[in-house]
Amino acid sequence: MKEIKIGILGFGTVGVGVVEGIQKNGALMAERTGIYPVVAKIADLDITTDRGITVPDGVLTTDAMSVIADDQIDLIAELIGGTTVARTFMLEALKQGKPVVTANKALLAEHGAELYKVAQENKTGIYYEAAVGGGIPILLAQRTGLVGNQIESIYGILNGTCNYILTRMELEGLPFDEILADAQKLGYAETPPDLDIDGIDTAHKTTILASMAYGTPVPISVVATKGIRALSGQEISNADALGYRIKLLAIIKNKGGKVELSVEPTLVPKTHMTASVNDSFNAVFVKGDLVGDTMYYGRGAGSLPTGSAVIADLMEAAADQSNKVGAPVGIHMMLQKEAVEYCAAGAIEKCCYIRIVEGDLKEAATILKKHGIDTRLIEESTSIILTQKAKESAFVAAMKELNGAIRLRLENFE
Ligand code: HSE
């Protein structure tokens, strides 16, 4: 039986999930794969706080570089997060030819182009299943099950924290901040949680899905991003009364060769499957030209679900190392093949929900019409207008004349 020695950098929520998962099921993994995973070293600046699990003496260290440099260590799991020291450590490991498994979506979204190249040059891999969708093997599906498809669209609920907040706001009517504090206690949220609630974490994950779909490192700057920070309970209950739920939805569409990417709080019909994705669950809907519609669902955040994805990558990286695969398919798929054209934020076509705060509804409808936006429903009792599809730039112009109005995207999945 071959053993692989793993060096873990970062002993936070995800690091603990990985160690706990290997302690529980390592023998099973060995039985299934012929490779026994051994956590040889764990580096963290804090090696004294009780994490609720026990590791053998000598495993914990505060010196991450010594773990990377250790000849006995076969694989590195970068579970620190952030884009500074994590980048330095990852580059160092890759330059030493060591495969790196990571859950770090921010790092890949911001420095992926550089990191994938360094991995390829050093004939090694970066494995990043845990960076998108927590425990859902969505990237595995993209690079194996869907490899024969051109990707037409991807819809994703990709942030466990936001989905947890939105679910509890709707079902329990609790204030935003109270639920966010619970999400932090449960280990779902980033530190600080601004990346979650401002939609940036979802945008990071969106670039990774799109990079794999279109074969280029998609820059974060092309994702039109809005978060849920300003969302009020009133919008959630108005949406409910109209037959919708509000989800922080990532949308990727290939429209005749131009790729449209956005993240924003969106009304989805209660009859659509996205509406049933609750709590910290994530879901990704991928439409391929051959396969048609597919859906992937599971826990999008948390220690053991994310640990499960990291473990899957560790076992795959170990197998690739044994088979001398070099840079794996997950790297080839992310490297630039041809230039991709992106749709400007203002050119994205969408329907919207607009709650008029000042002035009457007829006047508001006239203003919208002036900007080329047709209405689909005018709800007098709640001062709401649902629109037909129009360009984002038209909505932006119209909103300047609709003082104080609240606007959200509405997606019918047509
Ligand atoms: N903060 C992230 C989330 C963790 O809530 O989805 C998983 O990527």
pLDDT digits (tens, 9 = 90+) for 246-301: 999 999 999 999 999 999 999 999 999 999 999 999 999 999 999 999 999 999 99
Confidence (pLDDT) at 339: 85
Nearest CA to ligand 1 atom 1: 189
Catalytic (active site) residue 205: yes
For residue 360, with 0-12 CB atoms within 10 Å meaning exposed, 13-18 middle and 19 or more buried, which class applies?
Answer: exposed
The yes-or-no verdict on residue 90 having pLDDT over 90 is yes
Confidence (pLDDT) at 338: 80
Ligand 1: does its nearest atom lie under 6 Å from the Cβ of 214? no
Ligand 1: does its nearest atom lie under 6 Å from the Cβ of 136? no
CATH number of the structural domain spanning residue 403: 3.30.70.100
Confidence (pLDDT) at 225: 98
Residue 33 lies in a domain: yes
Confidence (pLDDT) at 32: 97
Lookup result for tokens 């490991």: 93
Same domain, 122 and 7: yes
The yes-or-no verdict on residue 196 having pLDDT over 90 is yes
Nearest CA to ligand 1 atom 7: 301
The yes-or-no verdict on residue 400 having pLDDT over 90 is yes
Number of domains into which the chain is organized = 3
Looking at 299, 325, 356, the residue that finishes a domain is 299
Digit-coded pLDDT (tens) for 363-397: 999 999 999 999 999 999 999 999 999 999 999 99
Confidence (pLDDT) at 96: 97
Query: Whole domain around residue 353: which residue ranges?
Result: 348-410
Phi, psi of 257 (to 5 degrees): 95, -15
Same domain, 85 and 96: yes
Residues of the chain with pLDDT > 90, as a percent, come to: 96
Q: Which atom of ligand 1 is nearest to the CA of 282?
A: 6
Residue 342 lies in a domain: no
Q: Which atom of ligand 1 is nearest to the CA of 130?
A: 8
Same domain, 43 and 124: yes
Same domain, 142 and 275: yes
Same domain, 150 and 264: yes
Residue 207 lies in a domain: yes
Same domain, 127 and 173: no
Q: How far is CA 84 from the centre of its chain?
A: 20
CATH number of the structural domain spanning residue 292: 3.30.360.10
Ligand 1: does its nearest atom lie under 6 Å from the Cβ of 201? yes
Ligand 1: does its nearest atom lie under 6 Å from the Cβ of 189? yes
Q: How far apart are CA 327 and CA 325, in angstroms?
A: 6
Residue 20 lies in a domain: yes
The predicted model gives 27-46 an average pLDDT of 98
Ligand 1: does its nearest atom lie under 6 Å from the Cβ of 164? no
Digit-coded pLDDT (tens) for 198-254: 999 999 999 999 999 999 999 999 999 999 999 999 999 999 999 999 999 999 999
Q: What's the gap in Å between 159 CA and the centre of ligand 1? A: 5
Digit-coded pLDDT (tens) for 317-352: 999 999 999 999 899 899 888 889 999 999 999 999
Q: What's the gap in Å between 160 CA and the centre of ligand 1? A: 5
In the beta sheet, which residues pair with residue 284?
156, 296
Mutate to test the pocket of ligand 1, among 80, 159, 278 (most ligand atoms within 8 A of CB): 159
Same domain, 27 and 84: yes
The yes-or-no verdict on residue 1 having pLDDT over 90 is no
Q: Which atom of ligand 1 is nearest to the CA of 131?
A: 8
Nearest CA to ligand 1 atom 4: 301
Residue 233 lies in a domain: yes
Confidence (pLDDT) at 229: 96
Same domain, 283 and 356: no
Residue 341 lies in a domain: no
Residue 154 lies in a domain: yes
User: pTM above the 0.95 mark?
Assistant: yes
Evaluate whether 297 touches 130 at the Cβ level (below 8 Å): no
HEC assignment per residue over the chain: CEEEEEEEECCCHHHHHHHHHHHHHHHHHHHHHCEEEEEEEEECCCCCCCCCCCCCCCCEECCHHHHHHCCCCCEEEECCCCCCHHHHHHHHHHHCCCCEEECCHHHHHHHHHHHHHHHHHCCCCEECHHHCCCCCCHHHHHHHHCCCCCEEEEEEECCHHHHHHHHHHHHHCCCHHHHHHHHHHCCCCCCCCHHHHCCHHHHHHHHHHHHHHHCCCCCHHHCEECCCCCCCHHHHHHHHHCCEEEEEEEEEEEECCEEEEEEEEEEEECCCHHHHCCCCEEEEEEEECCCEEEEEEEECCCHHHHHHHHHHHHHHHHHHHHCCCCCCHHHHCCCCCCCCEECCHHHCEEEEEEECCCCCHHHHHHHHHHCCCCEEEEECCCCEEEECCEEHHHHHHHHCCCCCCEEEEECCCC
Q: What's the gap in Å between 301 CA and the centre of ligand 1? A: 5
Tokens standing for residue 354? 């607009």
Same domain, 198 and 222: yes
CATH number of the structural domain spanning residue 92: 3.40.50.720
Confidence (pLDDT) at 336: 81
The yes-or-no verdict on residue 414 having pLDDT over 90 is no
Confidence (pLDDT) at 291: 98
The predicted model gives 112-122 an average pLDDT of 96
Which of the following is catalytic: 41, 98, 105, 205? 205
Q: How far apart are CA 345 and CA 392, in angstroms?
A: 7
Same domain, 201 and 319: no
Burial letters for 395-411: b for 16+ Cβ neighbours within 10 Å, e otherwise? bebbbeebeebbbbbbb
Confidence (pLDDT) at 306: 98
Q: Which atom of ligand 1 is nearest to the CA of 132?
A: 8
Ligand 1: does its nearest atom lie under 6 Å from the Cβ of 301? yes
Looking at 311, 335, 359, the residue that finishes a domain is 335
The yes-or-no verdict on residue 409 having pLDDT over 90 is yes
Evaluate whether 350 touches 392 at the Cβ level (below 8 Å): yes
Residue 81 lies in a domain: yes
Looking at 277, 299, 321, the residue that finishes a domain is 299
Same domain, 308 and 404: no
Same domain, 158 and 275: yes
Ligand 1: does its nearest atom lie under 6 Å from the Cβ of 188? yes
Confidence (pLDDT) at 337: 81
Ligand 1: does its nearest atom lie under 6 Å from the Cβ of 268? no
